[in-house]
């Protein structure tokens, strides 16, 4: 990651100032909440993808920076909403906006960021980008709703899970990469390759997220470990364990999923069941397949430092700890 941030250091510095510049509103309360989450040290993975993809495609201008900022805004809007939906207390090592200000301001400031993003894109008049971004936003909402419908359902299978994460996470990664291709005015073939690269990368990102929710610890992750199970989210490590578990184990997990309040002991016991059936190892294997697929889609591009960086970023999806 360090080599990547060095390579695009100037673009990243401009990204941060553009983020500040674009959050224009006369309501200081909005800025306070936006800054709370946006300055709390996110990884900026999606903007980095826009920047690298644009540069990979030979883009020489600076218009990619506002688009990178807008993608971070959309991502931030979804986090504000998601933390309300998930009743999350900690993100990026700080209290979530819903904990500090309550659910209503979080949802409404999320709405503001989302609307502001589309206002900015409408005025920049790139119809292709607007289409890609609006399609991705619909997918985000659909993914989150699909996930909601599957809450506490121990019958959730791998295909349903992959559909959820494809929509809620991979769609925005995919759009970020495609936007880079659109700005670089590459062929349709290369544009589609970037779209697929981003999609596979996003799948790997979310799979790792779901592994970390079982194996990391709060301080390293900057989020509460065990939130998925507590909120009744059935993710791949658990799906795999449920598929191979005994009836007794399945019954126990179903009871924990439907419990009003999960205890640390419940979490430990479910973790033990996941460990017994290799749920994390299996999920890592699936993650690796998505990483390999992602890298394969870059074949159509000539070697360059940007291609190299995107390959490294793909590997980082497997190795990341936060
Ligand atoms: C995080 O998942 C959530 C998402 C990637 C998508 C959230 C999408 C919405 C709330 C949809 C609609 C909102 C707008 C503005 C279009 P997670 O809970 O697994 O990750 P986490 O552990 O980081 O919370
Ligand atoms: Mg969440």
pLDDT tens, position by position, 69-111: 999 999 999 999 999 999 999 998 899 999 999 999 999 999 9
Nearest alpha carbon, ligand 1 atom 3: 82
Which of the four pLDDT bands, split at 50, 70 and 90, describes residue 214? Answer: very high
Tell me which ligand sits closest to the C-alpha of residue 138.
Answer: 1
Which of the four pLDDT bands, split at 50, 70 and 90, describes residue 37? Answer: very high
- pLDDT given for residue 226 in this prediction: 94
Ligand 1 atom at minimal distance to the Cα of residue 114 = 15
Q: Into how many domains does the chain fold? A: 1
Out of 79, 143, 171, give the residue to mutate to test ligand 1, the one with the largest number of ligand atoms within 8 Å of its CB: 79
- Give the three-class secondary structure for 125: coil
The 10 Å Cβ neighbour count of residue 202 is 28
**How far does CA 54 lie from the centroid of its chain?**
20
Q: Are 230 and 262 in contact (CB under 8 A)?
A: yes
Nearest alpha carbon, ligand 1 atom 8: 78
Averaged pLDDT for residues 282-303: 98
Bridge partners of residue 90, in order along the sequence = 95
- pLDDT given for residue 237 in this prediction: 98
Ligand 1 geometric centre to CA of 138 (Å): 12
CATH number for 242: 1.10.600.10
Ligand 1 atom at minimal distance to the Cα of residue 223 = 22
Bridge partners of residue 95, in order along the sequence = 90
- pLDDT given for residue 1 in this prediction: 85
Q: In the chain, where does DSSP find H-type helix?
A: 2-7, 9-22, 28-38, 45-56, 64-85, 97-100, 103-124, 127-149, 158-165, 171-183, 188-215, 218-221, 227-230, 236-244, 247-257, 264-276, 279-297, 305-319
- Proportion of the chain above pLDDT 90, given as a percent: 92
Show the domain range for 255: 2-319
Ligand 1 atom at minimal distance to the Cα of residue 210 = 19
């Amino acid at each position: 990651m360090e080599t990547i941030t060095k390579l695009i250091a100037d673009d990243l510095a401009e990204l941060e100032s553009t983020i500040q510049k674009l959050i224009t509103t006369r309501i200081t309360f909005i800025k306070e909440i936006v800054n709370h989450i946006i300055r709390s040290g996110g990884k900026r993975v999606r903007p980095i993808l826009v920047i690298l993809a644009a540069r990979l495609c030979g883009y020489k201008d600076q218009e990619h920076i506002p688009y990178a900022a807008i993608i971070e805004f959309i991502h931030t809007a979804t986090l504000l909403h998601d933390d309300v939906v998930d009743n999350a207390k900690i993100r990026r090592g700080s209290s979530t906006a819903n904990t500090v200000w309550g659910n209503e301001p979080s949802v409404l400031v999320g709405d503001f960021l989302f609307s502001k993003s589309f206002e900015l894109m409408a005025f920049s008049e790139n119809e292709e980008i607007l289409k890609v971004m609006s399609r991705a936003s619909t997918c985000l909402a659909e993914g989150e709703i699909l996930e909601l419908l599957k809450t506490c359902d121990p019958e959730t299978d791998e295909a349903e899970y992959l559909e959820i994460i494809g929509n809620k996470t991979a769609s925005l990664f995919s759009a970020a990469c495609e936007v880079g291709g659109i700005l670089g005015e590459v062929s349709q073939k290369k544009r589609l390759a970037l779209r697929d690269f981003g999609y596979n990368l996003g799948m790997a990102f979310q799979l790792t997220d779901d592994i970390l929710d079982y194996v990391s610890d709060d301080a390293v992750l900057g989020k509460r470990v065990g939130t998925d199970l507590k909120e009744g989210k059935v993710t791949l490590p658990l799906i795999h364990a449920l598929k191979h578990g005994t009836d007794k184990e399945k019954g126990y997990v179903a009871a924990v999923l439907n419990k009003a309040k999960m205890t640390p002991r419940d979490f430990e016991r479910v973790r033990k069941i996941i460990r017994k059936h290799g749920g994390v190892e299996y999920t890592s294997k699936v993650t690796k397949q998505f990483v390999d697929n992602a890298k394969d889609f870059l074949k159509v591009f000539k070697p360059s430092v940007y291609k190299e960086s995107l390959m490294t970023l793909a590997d980082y999806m497997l190795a990341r700890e936060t």
